[in-house]
Copies of this chain bind each other. A is one copy, B any other.
Amino acid sequence: MNQHIPYKIYLEEQEMPSSWYNVRADMKVKPAPLLNPATGKPLSVEELSPIFCEELAKQELDNDTAYVPIPDEIRSFYKMYRPSPLVRAYCLEKKLKTPAHIYYKFEGNNTSGSHKLNSAIAQAYYAKKQGLKGVTTETGAGQWGTALSMACSYFDLDCQVYMVKVSYEQKPFRREVMRTYGAKVTPSPSMETAIGRKINEEFPGTTGSLGCAISEAVEAATSQEGYRYVLGSVLNQVLLHQSIIGLETKAALDKYGIKADMIIGCAGGGSNLGGLISPFVGEMLRGEADYQVIAVEPASCPSMTRGKFAYDFCDTGKVCPLAKMYTLGSGFIPSANHAGGLRYHGMSSIVSQLYADGLLEARSVEQTAVFEAAEMFARVEGILPAPESSHAIRVAIDEALRCKETGEEKNIVFGLTGTGYFDMVAYEKYNNREMSDYIPTDEDIAKSLASLPVIPE
């Protein structure tokens, strides 16, 4: 194919996928089921339904349906910002003097600033369809809370966000975006829930944690008539919705006859990575193609590269079900790494199983190297990347430089999950050369892993 490849490949509106792809249908070894921590038994749709919307509980447990049609109402919303562009990084290639061809799927072209909106709108839709009044959730860095606020505003649903207190105070802009979209944003721990009051009493002046915010959001959902709890990553349903990233990426590559050699994504809970790689891994599982798939995680929170594949709580507060995943232990406290969205102790069960089965590799990278890549990318490609996304940029650059040594013209595809406009405090630290790296010791990790839950027989 000698045709010119434009800087940005935009699919036409009618080329947007009409179904999500459920990679579980093609997995020989299915991801392990969520367990009830009290009984050690797999959770049923009925057991999940008091917490999750019913349709979402069904999606969570459905390991068989390969293609799930995207409802028209969700497609209409998607059309406001999708198909998102697949960008040929001509300027980055030139800067690196690499023979590799670099492409990135850019998910930051919407006001939430990240891919999170893809699942937020789906979850809000099913909540509305079920006749609910609203949903509750937690947010740390704020990307998920922003996306959910936008989605709820669109469907006129009440949105209650428990925002980790330290972020609530230090990230007032994120908070105000959510409020502009009509969300009620509460600093966590609050005095509005029993668990919040208890924590405030035990730890006066605490600035909160994601685990605590999850606990409050779950309590708020289950204690209010017509509310359910929603989550922006880790879950199977979220990866299903995020498959639109990978489907569009593949459609855009196919349109120009490009065969990806390598697919790179940053990995926190796995929502972006799982969505990006699903259709490609599906081909691998069906024996139709082969790709090198790389998950990139921060060296400060290395769940895949240094964690254990075991059942663990999804949350620090231990109110959620048990999931089998690569984990550092639900009590693992990552150091102050600015890629807030990657500070998660575990990894989606789907991604974990694929990793265990050798379908993808994992790498960890250090923060300063990530910001170095982010700065270079911003300067040549004109997009200020989110710190999370910049983990993938780092490895894409490393691989492109390797191609320079070997002379290989590889097609490198990576996911650029979002923009860094609300992460300027981290950039400021980097600009001032005040940023440092932190890698947990083996002892840190062993200590945290020692308290993995015991599954009742």
Interface set of A (CB-CB < 8 Å, partner B):
6-8, 10, 12-13, 76-77, 79-81, 87, 90-91, 109-111, 113, 150, 153-154, 172-173, 176-177, 179-182, 375, 378-384, 419, 421-422, 424-425, 427-428, 430-431
A7 to B84, CA, bound (A): 13
Which residue on chain B has the smallest CB distance to residue A80?
B382
The 7 closest A-B pairs by CB, nearest first: A173-B424, A6-B13, A7-B79, A176-B424, A421-B421, A153-B379, A176-B428
Q: How far is the CA of A430 from the CA of B176 in the complex (A)?
A: 10
Docked complex Cα distance between A431 and B174 (Å): 13
Residues in B whose Cβ lies below 8 Å from that of A419: 111
Measured in the bound complex, the distance between the Cα atoms of B173 and A228 in whole Å is: 35
Q: How far is the CA of A422 from the CA of B384 in the complex (A)?
A: 14
CB <8 Å contact, A6 and B424: no
Q: How far is the CA of A414 from the CA of B453 in the complex (A)?
A: 58
Q: Is the interface of A mostly helix, strand, loop or mixed?
A: helix
Q: Which residue of B lies closest to A432 (CB)?
A: B179
A181 close to B379 (CB less than 8 A): yes
- Residues of chain B within 8 A (CB-CB) of A154 are 91, 379-380, 382
Q: How far, in whole Å, are A180 and B374 apart by their CA atoms in the complex? A: 9
Chain B, residue nearest A430 (CB): B180
Residue of B nearest to A426 (CB): B176
What's the number of copies of this chain in the assembled complex?
A: 2
Q: B8 contacts A384, CB within 8 Å?
A: no
Question: Chain B's nearest CB lies how many Å from the CB of A72?
Answer: 13
Given the complex, which residues of B lie within 8 Å of A430, measured CB to CB?
180
CB pair A427–B177 under 8 Å, yes or no, is yes
Whether B172 contacts A428 by the Cβ 8 Å rule is yes
- CB contacts (< 8 Å) of A383 on chain B: these are 110-111
Q: How far is the CB of A151 from chain B (nearest CB, A)?
A: 9
Q: Which residues of B contact A109 (CB under 8 A)?
A: 109
Q: When chains A and B are docked, how far (Å) is the Cα of A113 from the Cα of B111?
A: 11
CB distance from A71 to the nearest CB of B (A): 16
Residue contact B384 to A180, C-beta cutoff 8 Å: yes
Q: Is the CB of A384 within 8 A of B111?
A: yes
CA distance A419 to B419 in the complex (A): 13
Q: How far is the CA of A380 from the CA of B156 in the complex (A)?
A: 10
- Min CB–CB distance A137 → chain B (angstroms): 18
Report how far A45 CA is from B176 CA in the complex, Å. Answer: 48
> What is the CB-to-nearest-CB distance from A23 to chain B, in angstroms, rounded to a whole number?
28
Q: Nearest chain B CB to A161's CB is how many angstroms away?
A: 14
Expressed in whole angstroms, the minimum distance between the Cβ of A454 and any Cβ of chain B is 46
Q: Are B6 and A79 neighbours in the complex by a CB distance under 8 Å?
A: yes
- 22 A-B pairs, CB-CB below 8 angstroms? A7-B13, A7-B79, A7-B80, A8-B80, A76-B90, A77-B382, A80-B91, A80-B381, A80-B382, A111-B378, A111-B384, A154-B379, A154-B380, A154-B382, A172-B424, A173-B421, A173-B425, A176-B428, A177-B421, A177-B427, A180-B375, A180-B379
| Bound Cα distance from A90 to B427, whole angstroms | 37
Given contacts A6-B12, A13-B8, contact A176 B427 (CB under 8 A): yes
Q: How far is the CA of A380 from the CA of B176 in the complex (A)?
A: 17
Whether the pair B382, A111 counts as a contact (CB closer than 8 A) is yes
A10 touches B7 (CB 8 A): no
